[in-house]
Structure formats: structure tokens, C-alpha cells
Structure 1
Amino acid sequence: MALTNEELRIVPLAPQTWPMFDAMVLRHNGIFGGCWCTWFHPDSEDRAPGAEGSRAEKKRYVECGVAHAALVVDGDEAVAWAEYGTPAELPNIHHRKQYDAEADLVPDYRVTCIFVDKRHRRRGLAETALLGALDLIAREGGGVVEGYPHVPGEKRVSSSFLYNGTRAMYERCGFEFVRPKGLKNTVMRRTVAPAG
């Protein structure tokens, strides 16, 4: 059964909402082999190995207020998220060397990962999560937001590999194409006004 917008709400990832995020990631075996959506964060020498190390690290980032995401919630269960943060909070992006060499500005925020529960895919929740992140950014004062979506080729790709959505989705959400990044990634940008 498809979820309707009336059944969904957006909540920020925070210590109080950690249990919902935690449960969703656990349902998916830690996401991408136990990443826990930590790959884009700074490297930490204190991090323990494996999925449990990533889980503890993500929880620590959340408790310190340096991990942000818009959680799409149905009832009391998170069913999707969009991770966002400042470049200092999320410095690790794919094709970083090329990105830095071609950069024309430093954005205020990055959207680095979008994930949808496998039970709820193909229902537009990635776009809902992205719009939720933009709304939370607006509440934090807005600014220039970049995303790095994929441009799928002719060959069909599993949606699980589209960890940051597609260019078409970003365009629907008001982003403009800036330049390519790597073979099948792009730099997309949108300015978000502060919430009124």
C-alpha cells in the first residue's frame, strides 16, 4: 500500500529520534555493508572497526549535533532519510579531487546520502526526504545547498546504488545543474531561503 503525504512527517535526526533511525538501519543490515551513513563524515582515529564501530560513531555524531538528516516518518517508524550537513561536517565526497579542482564556491550545505526503506521504494520517498532536508535547512537559516546525484546510463541500475538520487529528482526539487563530477555524478545547486 502506498503511503500518502498525510501519513508522513519529517523529523530531524537528533538524540530523541535516534531510535527510529537506528531501527531503520538495523532493518537493512547497517546499510552498504555496515556504513551507518558515516562514510561522508570526517575520518576518526577513535572509531572501532566494522558495523558496530560505524553505528557507535554515527550515534556520537548525532549526540554532538554534527550529524543531520531529514527522517521521513510513518507512524513511529522511519522509512527514508536524506543526510545533509556543512562541508566541514561532511567533507568526504566521491570524486573529491576533481570537485576541489573545479569548485567555484563552497556551499553552506551538502546533501550526501538519501536512503529509502526497501519496503517503501518506488513511492517518491527519496524526493520527500530531499524536500524535508531543504525544509530543515530553511529553518536553520537557509543558504546554498549542493547535491551530487547520479545520471543513470542506458543500463538499468538498482536503486540501492543511487545513494544520492538522480539528476531528474533534484531538478524537480528546484536544483540546477552546475557541472559533471566523475563519470555518472553531477554537482547540482539550489539556494534555500530562510524559513519565514
Structure 2
Amino acid sequence: MTIEVRPATAFGDVRTLVGPKSPESNVCWCLSYRIPSKLNNELRGPDRGAYVAELCRADPPPGVIAYDGDEPVGWAAVAPRSDTSFARNRKIPHVDDLPVWSLWCIRVRPGHRKKGISHALIAGAVEFAREQGAPAIEAYPLDSGDARVDMTMAYAGIRKNFERAGFSYAADTTSVLAGHPRVLMRLDLTPPRRAPK
């Protein structure tokens, strides 16, 4: 299986990965951290999908999609932290004033899990942020150790997967998800400086 990760410009594929079965449903659509809570509460049913369709047409698009051939099998939300609710989140600290990007949601479709897709999504999100000029990328995964994590709450990712991708622990948070503390993990994306000759 060869997984390719591409920017999330195809709304139909995003809908397959994070949209509801019923268009009238008020599921997340991966908007809850992306937009202010007031707007998130106001957007109902089909308006949520319409909002995401606009995001897919924007530059940059709202994240990346993992494909197995032509089939969308995974999603990762990644954007400048300043454009998300993490910009004002009191539970997730700011390490410094760099205009970092946030990677906050990783979702692999049922039937495609345990095949390395989440690892490909993290790598693809990192590359996407780098191409957009991000100086660093952050994630806020669960620090669950060896404990099992409920799949519905595993969207934040788990610490060891980010460590495997080269992220380093940067700070504790006061955020808890599914009974597990979240930590701030970070990866510097600035190219190494060359020593003068």
C-alpha cells in the first residue's frame, strides 16, 4: 500500500472523512478548534458543510488528506495557530512568539487503521506547513503512556507518534482529553544554517 498525502482541496473527500452521514447533522466537521465557539454553535446542519467547502477553496486549504490510490483514507487538520482557537486557549500555553502552525486532528477511516496512515498524515502535515513557510509546527497529543485510548477521542494523536515523527516535548498543558493529559509537542521547521566557509 502506497499512501500519498495531499492538501485538502477536494471537498467531497473531506466530507467523506469528517462529514456526517446525514447533511442535517451538527457533527464537528473538524471546525471546533478552527473557528470561534460562537460561530461553531451558530453553524447548523448543511451550513457546516458549506463552510468547510469554502475552506477547501481557500489558500491554504484546511489540512491534508491521505490517499490509498484514489480513496481518501485519512485527514489531518493543520493551520496557523493564530487562525485557530488555540490562539486564545488558556489550557494550551504559548512557548514563544513564533507564528507557529497547529496540527490538532488526525483521523483515519475505519477499516484503514493500523496501517501507518496516521504516521503518513503527520509527515504530510509537517511538509504542508513547511511549504507554507511555517517556522515551526505544534501538536497537542494525549500523553497516554501504554494505556489504551478510546478511538473517538484519539483525534489529538498520541505523544509517541509525534516523537517518532521528530517532534519534541515543549510544555505541559492543563488540557485533559478522554482522561489523559495533553502535552505540547513541537517541531522546528526552519532550515539549518550553513556554517560560513
TM-score (norm. length: structure 2): 0.80
SS of the equivalent of 1:134 reads helix
Residues 1:143 and 1:69: Cα distance change in structure 2 (over 3 Å): same
Aligned to 2:84: 90
> Would you say how many aligned residue pairs link Structure 1 and Structure 2?
184
Aligned to 2:185: 188
**Of residues 69, 75, 79 in structure 2, which corresponds to 1:75?**
69
In 2: Cα distance, 1:57 partner to 1:125 partner: 26
**Unpaired runs of 5+ in structure 2?**
192-197
**Unpaired runs of 5+ in structure 1?**
none
Provide, for residues 134-192 of structure 1, a one-character-per-residue CA deviation record: whole Å limited to 9, x for no partner.
11122223411111010115652222211121110010011110111124100011112
Residues 1:19 and 1:29: Cα distance change in structure 2 (over 3 Å): same
Residues 1:49 and 1:68: Cα distance change in structure 2 (over 3 Å): closer
**Of residues 33, 43, 60 in structure 2, which corresponds to 1:40?**
33
Residues 1:104 and 1:140: Cα distance change in structure 2 (over 3 Å): closer
CA root-mean-square deviation: 2.8
In 2: Cα distance, 1:45 partner to 1:151 partner: 30
| 1:143/1:191 contact within 8 Å kept | yes
SS of the equivalent of 1:50 reads coil
Aligned to 2:195: none
Question: How much does 1:42 deviate?
Answer: 2.1
Q: 1:11 is matched by which residue type in structure 2?
A: R
Sequence identity of aligned pairs in percent? 22
Aligned to 2:56: 62
In 2: Cα distance, 1:117 partner to 1:60 partner: 23
TM-score (norm. length: structure 1): 0.80
Quick check: 59-68 or 124-133, which moved more?
59-68
SS of the equivalent of 2:184 reads strand
SS of the equivalent of 2:130 reads helix
| 2:17/2:75 contact within 8 Å kept | no
In 1: Cα distance, 2:107 partner to 2:60 partner: 19
